Structure formats: C-alpha cells, structure tokens
Amino acid sequence: MFFLSFACSLISPRGLTLQKLAQTTPFPLLLTLLRPFFPQFASRLSTLLSPLSLRTFVTVSRASPSVAVLSLDKGPANVLSLEMSSALAAAVSEIESDRAVQCLVLKSSNQKIFCAGLDIQEMAAPDPARLADFWRTVQQVFINLYGSRLSTFAAIEGHAPAGGCLLSMCCDYR
C-alpha cells in the first residue's frame, strides 16, 4: 500500500517531487520499478524523472536574494516541447518553494526570440500518450506561472508568437 501511494504521488501534475526524487534515486532503477504498475505513464516518467531533461532547457540564476531569473535556453527558438515544458514547470515550482524569492523574471537567452510557441513537431504524427502528456505539461506551465505567489515578469526582448505570447501573458508584468 505504501509503495502504491508513493508511486501515485510521483505522478503529481507539479513535478516537484519528481525532480527531487530524480536527484536522489538512480533513474533506471526507479523507472524499472514503476513501469509495471503505471505503463500508461512510462513516457511521462522517463521525461520528468530524467535530470538531464530538467536542466537542459532552462537556466535559473539569482539577480538578488529575492529575485530569480529563469532563462529559456532551448535554441534556436525556445519552442515549447514536452521536455521544455517539463523543465519550465519544474523550475517554476522549485523557485516558488524558496520562500526567500519574491520575484521571478522569465527571459530568453536568445535576444531575437522570447519563445516561438508550441513545438509543431510534437503535434505532427504524435504518439497519443506523449501528446496527452505534452498538452498536460504545457497547460501546467501556464497554470504555474499564472497562479504563482511570486511577482512574475516576462522580459520580452524578441518575438513571442502564439504559445510564446500565452507564456508572457501568464506573467504579471510584461
């Protein structure tokens, strides 16, 4: 019973427990243990639990003790793929859990493009399970930003069409 409730807590929409778990548990072992119980979540677990996917596309820094800067870092256009959205959701949750932080600045590492929106390749001939995870994760990013206790700023220095515009609109200030 404990294992089942523990495994269910891993599939939380926020992904924060997944990130902490990935840092303390050998990933292949954890995925092997959980896959028989949750086959429909295998792709989501592998994406969310992979420490590489959580750190590759975003960079978190501090402008001051109370101001966190979250940089979109998925060149060339910062498109919102499943991995990028997972990394964003996890980073926002992690920043929000630090009570010293009062402000979040969302910016791009590319000065010409803030975010080009949704990754079209995610929707071309999609795997149904991955597509469901993709939409759930993208929506979770918007919910995390819009519902954040932090003052959120979108530092738009370049183009922000479609999903990039939605991402910026979820912030308090643009």
For every residue of 49-72, DSSP letters joined together read: H-HHHHHHSEEEEEEETTEEEEEE
pTM value is: 0.68
pLDDT of residue 123: 85
CB 141 within 8 A of CB 92: yes
Look up the domain containing 48 and give its range. Answer: 1-174
Rounded CA gap, 41 and 35, in Å? 8
pLDDT of residue 51: 46
pLDDT of residue 100: 94
pLDDT of residue 52: 45
pLDDT of residue 38: 60
- pLDDT in tens for each of the 174 residues of the chain? 334 344 444 444 444 444 444 444 444 445 555 556 665 555 555 545 444 444 578 999 999 999 999 999 988 899 999 999 999 999 999 999 999 999 999 999 999 999 999 999 888 888 888 899 999 999 999 999 999 999 999 999 999 999 999 999 999 999
pLDDT of residue 125: 81
Structural domains counted in the chain: 1
Sign of the four-CA dihedral 146, 84, 50, 12: positive
Total residues found in the chain within this entry: 174
